[in-house]
């Protein structure tokens, strides 16, 4: 065999190995990891809660982002795993932090899951997520977000020219503002603008500039939620009524007082609140908080952790969220490919974090819209909340 033929065979062999590894990875990400639901156990301690939480802790079974859409064998496999895991668990409270369904084809499996879980002594509560309201089209996601990126770039260019002419500096607006509706995240002065300003910079019109712009666009779409077209609308009335028939209450901008044997060592005396979805609903943290005594121990359910952009949310001791799916694709050292969140760093796509005195737990969720996970297994969580 001559040298050229050996080299050709080597290249073909190398490409074959790369293709084989790629196919195996894709198969794992499509058919193995999304179906391997993990049970995570975590203890969270809340200061100043003595006498308000059971001595052994308040046990919360936390589900999120089931995204049911009528994919029968996949969804049934997940439901069966959760049924087996939950059968061996004792918990006081069942919660679901939204995206129950991906579209209305997921209604039957949503109801089957909630019906199947044993009703705990303190009840079952949920909040709505963006997918509970809306089905999105992903067909034009790149062109749509490229247009948004270009628009931001042009705005930045004009702003820089204006500053040069006026000799002034315009600070970003909206920082620390209250999120009162979905509009607040799509208009000027919103978190979109603040984060866009971080990732979009005017490039020189050179080959290097073109390459830099491509890299910046990639960074932009990794760090800013995709803007997606509404394809259809789901009936939240149908979903809410179905959940209530299964004894799960949906908390939309309201709080309930969980009070069971107060002053008893196993008693509970806390407020549980739920907030409407940040992207598609009308979250009202201030109004919800007004229902709760200031010195109460307070837990907030919010599908989207971006509620943390509203400083009023920091009045809660604990916020439980989902929405991110843990990034869905998480690479070693690199972190999550995307979080669909304005607030989070890509290394905070799931798990425990803290903002001021507010503790936050973000579930990776059970399901996914695009059936693909790598490095971000689906999960349910048994949280034990204790007084510090
Ligand atoms: Fe979701």
- pLDDT per residue as tens digits for the range 308-367: 999 999 999 999 999 999 999 999 888 898 899 999 998 999 999 999 999 999 999 999
The stretch 92-105 carries a mean pLDDT of: 97
Q: Which of 177-181, 207-211, 333-337, 381-385 has the highest mean pLDDT?
A: 381-385
21 part of a folded domain: no
Rounded distance from Cα 166 to ligand 1 centre (Å): 45
pLDDT in tens, 245-267: 999 999 999 999 999 888 788 89
227, 262, 297: which is the final residue of a domain? 227
pLDDT of residue 145: 78
Q: Are residues 42 and 114 in the same domain?
A: yes
Residues in contact with 357: Cβ distance below 8 Å, sequence separation at least 6, in sequence order:
47, 314, 317
112 part of a folded domain: yes
95 part of a folded domain: yes
Q: Which domain holds residue 280?
A: 36-136+230-387
pLDDT of residue 84: 96
pLDDT of residue 146: 84
Q: Are residues 59 and 114 in the same domain?
A: yes
Rounded distance from Cα 81 to ligand 1 centre (Å): 19
pLDDT of residue 147: 82
Q: Are residues 89 and 234 in the same domain?
A: yes
pLDDT of residue 172: 32
Rounded distance from Cα 154 to ligand 1 centre (Å): 32
Q: Are residues 258 and 269 in the same domain?
A: yes
pLDDT in tens, 275-319: 999 999 999 999 999 999 999 999 999 999 999 999 999 999 999
Q: Are residues 261 and 119 in the same domain?
A: yes
Rounded distance from Cα 52 to ligand 1 centre (Å): 32
25 part of a folded domain: no
227, 260, 294: which is the final residue of a domain? 227
Mean pLDDT of the chain: 87
Q: Are residues 129 and 151 in the same domain?
A: no
The backbone torsions φ and ψ at residue 337, rounded to the nearest 5 degrees and listed phi first, read -70, -30
pLDDT at 175 over 80: no
Rounded distance from Cα 286 to ligand 1 centre (Å): 25
181, 208, 227: which is the final residue of a domain? 227
Q: How many domains does the chain have?
A: 2
Q: Give the residue, 242 or 161, on which the prediction is more confident.
A: 242
Helix 141-166 and helix 207-223: axis angle, to 10°? 110
Are the C-beta atoms of residues 271 and 297 closer than 8 Å to each other? yes
Rounded distance from Cα 73 to ligand 1 centre (Å): 20
The stretch 3-19 carries a mean pLDDT of: 79
Q: Is 199 helix (H, G, I), strand (E, B) or coil?
A: helix
Q: Give the residue, 43 or 204, on which the prediction is more confident.
A: 43
Q: Are residues 60 and 156 in the same domain?
A: no
The stretch 76-97 carries a mean pLDDT of: 96
Distance CA 145, CA 367 (A): 25
Of 22, 19, 26, 21, which Cα lies nearest the Cα of 370?
26
Q: Are residues 241 and 120 in the same domain?
A: yes
Q: Are residues 123 and 182 in the same domain?
A: no
Rounded distance from Cα 99 to ligand 1 centre (Å): 5
Q: Are residues 170 and 206 in the same domain?
A: yes
pLDDT at 189 over 50: no
pLDDT of residue 388: 92
pLDDT of residue 141: 79
- Among the residue ranges 38-42, 142-146, 382-386, the one predicted with the least confidence is 142-146
215 part of a folded domain: yes
Alpha helices, DSSP H only, in the chain? 3-27, 72-87, 107-116, 130-133, 141-166, 191-199, 207-223, 236-245, 285-289
Rounded distance from Cα 306 to ligand 1 centre (Å): 13
| DSSP line for 319-372 | EEE-SSGGGSBEETTTEES--S-SS--GGGSSEEEEETTEEEEE---S--SSS-
pLDDT of residue 53: 96
pLDDT of residue 179: 43
Rounded distance from Cα 131 to ligand 1 centre (Å): 7
Q: Are residues 55 and 119 in the same domain?
A: yes
Are the C-beta atoms of residues 355 and 54 closer than 8 Å to each other? no
Q: Is 182 helix (H, G, I), strand (E, B) or coil?
A: helix
Are the C-beta atoms of residues 58 and 258 closer than 8 Å to each other? no
Q: Are residues 212 and 234 in the same domain?
A: no
- Among the residue ranges 28-32, 38-42, 374-378, the one predicted with the least confidence is 28-32
15 part of a folded domain: no
Radius of gyration of the chain (CA): 23
pLDDT in tens, 146-171: 888 888 888 776 665 555 545 443 33
DSSP structural state of residue 374: B
pTM of the model as a whole: 0.84
22 part of a folded domain: no
- CATH value at residue 89: 3.60.21.10
211 part of a folded domain: yes
């Amino acid at each position: 065999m001559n040298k050229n033929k050996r080299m050709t065979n080597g290249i073909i062999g190398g490409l074959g190995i790369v293709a084989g590894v790629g196919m195996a990875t894709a198969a794992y990400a499509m058919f193995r990891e999304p179906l391997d639901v993990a049970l995570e156990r975590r203890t969270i301690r809340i200061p100043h809660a003595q006498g308000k939480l059971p001595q052994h802790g308040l046990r919360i079974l936390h589900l999120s982002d089931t995204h049911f859409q009528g994919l029968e064998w996949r969804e049934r496999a997940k439901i069966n795993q959760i049924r087996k895991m939950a059968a061996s668990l004792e918990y006081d409270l069942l919660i679901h932090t939204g995206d129950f369904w991906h579209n209305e084809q997921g209604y039957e499996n949503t109801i089957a899951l909630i019906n199947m879980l044993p009703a705990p002594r303190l009840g079952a509560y949920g909040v709505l997520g963006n997918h509970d309201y809306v089905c999105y089209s992903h067909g034009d996601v790149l062109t749509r977000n490229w247009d948004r990126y270009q628009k931001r770039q042009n705005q930045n260019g004009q702003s820089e020219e204006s500053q040069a002419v006026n000799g002034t500096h315009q600070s970003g607006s909206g920082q620390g503002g209250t999120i009162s509706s979905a509009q607040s995240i799509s208009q000027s002065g919103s978190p979109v603008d603040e984060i866009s300003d971080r990732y979009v910079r005017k490039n020189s019109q050179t080959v290097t500039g073109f390459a830099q712009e491509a890299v910046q666009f990639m960074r932009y779409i990794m760090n800013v939620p995709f803007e997606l077209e509404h394809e259809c609308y789901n009936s939240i009335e149908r979903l809410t009524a179905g959940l209530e028939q299964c004894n799960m209450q949906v908390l939309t901008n309201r709080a309930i007082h969980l009070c069971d044997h107060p002053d008893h060592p196993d008693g509970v005396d806390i407020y549980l609140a739920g907030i409407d979805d940040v992207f598609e609903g009308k979250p009202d943290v201030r109004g919800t908080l007004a229902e709760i005594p200031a010195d109460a121990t307070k837990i907030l359910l919010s599908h989207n952790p971006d509620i943390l952009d509203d400083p009023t949310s920091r009045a809660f001791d604990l916020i439980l969220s989902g929405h991110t799916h843990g990034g869905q694709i998480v690479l070693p050292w690199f972190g999550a490919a995307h979080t669909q969140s304005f607030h989070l760093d890509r290394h905070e796509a799931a798990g425990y974090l803290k903002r001021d005195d507010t503790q936050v737990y973000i579930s990776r969720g059970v399901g996914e819209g695009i059936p693909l996970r790598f490095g971000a297994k689906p999960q349910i969580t048994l949280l034990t909340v204790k007084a510090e």
